[in-house]
Each structure stands twice: as C-alpha cells, then as structure tokens.
Amino acid sequence: MLFKAVILSAALAATTLGAALPSRVQSSPEPANTWPPVGSVPNKHIWGGDISHPSETPLNTPAYAAATDDAWAKIDLVVPITMFGRTSYVAWVSMNGIFTIDEPDMSLPTLPERPLPVDPASCKTSPGGCIPETAILPFWADLVIKPGYDFLGVSLLYSQHVTIDDPLAKMQHHHLDWFVCDKAVSMEPLEAEGDPYCGKASRYASVTWGPGAPGIILLQYVQNKPNIATAGTIGIQSPNWHMSVPASSIFTGNGERTTITIDTNALNYTISHDEY
C-alpha cells in the first residue's frame, strides 16, 4: 500500500517548521550534474512526525495539531519546480492542500475553499478562502493532523524514481505529500481494512515534479475502500489558465490510484486510473 511506502520514506525525515520569508524566483534551473545524489538530502517533515523517532520529529499531540492547523510553511527545493514558464527553488505550502511559488498573504484565510479561478484581489472582499494567483491545489479543503498517529502530516520527499510511467520515471524529482485528515468527514474506522489513521476521513494527495519534464505536474491519489470525498477543490491556476476536477471524481471509494498529469506548457491535462 502507498501508506506503507510513505511510512518507509518518512522514517528518514527531519522536521522543519516553515516561516514565510521573502524569496527569489529563478528563471532557469541549475545544471543537472550539480544536484546532490539521492540519499545525501534528508527528506523533510514539514508538519507532523514519527512517534517512533521522537528525537527527530515532534509527537503529534493535540496542541501540535492545533498549532499547525491552517498553517503555511516556506520550503527550499533541491529539485526546482517549473510551472507556467517560471522556475523556482522555493515554494510555500498550506496544511489545507495548497502549493504555490508565489509568497502568500498570510493575513487572509484559506478557507472555505471555492471554485477556480480565484482572483487574489477580489477574494479579499468576498466570502471564501484566498489563494495566490499561481497555485497547485492537490486537495484544497479543511485538513488537519490527527493527534497521536505517526507519519501523519505533510512531507517533502527527494527521490529518483516514481511508481508511474513517463514523463518523470527514473528522474530526480520531489514528492510533496499530504497524509492528513479531512475535518469535514467523520473519522469512522474503515471496517474492511482496520483504522488507517483517520478512517473514512483519511486523505492522501501528492504533487510530483522533476527537471526531466519541466512544466509537467503530477497530482496523485490513493485511497482505501470505501474512502470517499464529496467536497474539496482539486486543480491548478495561473493568471492565464486554470483547470479543476470535482473531488468526487477522484476520491471515488474504489481503492484505485488516480493520476492527474498537468502540462503547464501546453495548458492541458489527462486523468488516468490504475490498480494499486
């Protein structure tokens, strides 16, 4: 299961709580041969922790879950991300399923989620959450870490292989993973498969990118049966283009893995499903 894969990857993690700081956006990536080899860069828990390694990561206590609720963090990227013709070595992440290379206005609420596109100027005076003008939304919803569970949270993983085919297979890349709980859904256990952390409220969403396919963004989802979602915004937006799909078409409760491949160069996307 992907949950186990996330656990194995996250065991190497070191915690870093982000602070939103001004940062530059670079116009082109560094040469590929300057990147450090896989294994030399520790994976990072942005939020959440591994309770089997309390010296490395914080225990997911009720106080910690409350402190990270609705939070933003700034992250540095070993593998830069290119989207809509812009390349950046820094990004900002929201606990509520938002990823952006534009520094967010943290005085504005990110909830409730709303349909795309969201105009960052008009949203300040209209009901609903605000997001940056250019943003990836793997699953924009009211998300939280459940206290007492290891490996729940948001992690940045540096890898050299993925479990899907081209365009990013066997290339250096980042995974940005949300393994969290949906506050709008009951955490009733899944009887068929025990209690995978948040029960029916478990949400796993991942963003993947790599320099071998600049401008290509993968959104990936794996779920337990019958784990479904009827709310939440999934998509991407920029000043000139946006796309979105209903959460109900992704979290269908059938146990499949779903991949949305977004081409920010050609401005199109495809959706594929496979067994996991």
d(CA 193, CA 111) in angstroms, rounded, equals 31
Structure tokens at 174: 């980042």
Assess if residue 212 is contained within a domain. no
C-alpha pair distances (Å), 157 with each of 76, 90, 177: 12, 15, 8
At 70-83, the pLDDT tens digits run: 999 999 998 899 99
Assess if residue 87 is contained within a domain. yes
Assess if residue 232 is contained within a domain. no
d(CA 271, CA 56) in angstroms, rounded, equals 37
204 within 8 A of 6, measured Cβ to Cβ: yes
More confident residue, 176 or 30: 176
At 208-239, the pLDDT tens digits run: 998 888 999 999 998 766 777 888 999 999 99
* Number of structural domains found in the chain: 1
Find, among 212, 5, 213, 217, the residue nearest to 91 by Cα.
Answer: 217
From the number of C-beta atoms within 10 Å of its C-beta (0-12, 13-18, 19+), residue 24 rates as: exposed
Assess if residue 226 is contained within a domain. no
Assess if residue 263 is contained within a domain. no
Domain that holds residue 176: 1-20+46-201
pTM: 0.82
Assess if residue 5 is contained within a domain. yes
Question: How confident is residue 13, by pLDDT bands cut at 50, 70 and 90?
Answer: very low
What integer pLDDT is reported at residue 59 of this predicted model? Answer: 63
Assess if residue 207 is contained within a domain. no
Assess if residue 252 is contained within a domain. no
More confident residue, 276 or 248: 248
142 within 8 A of 182, measured Cβ to Cβ: yes
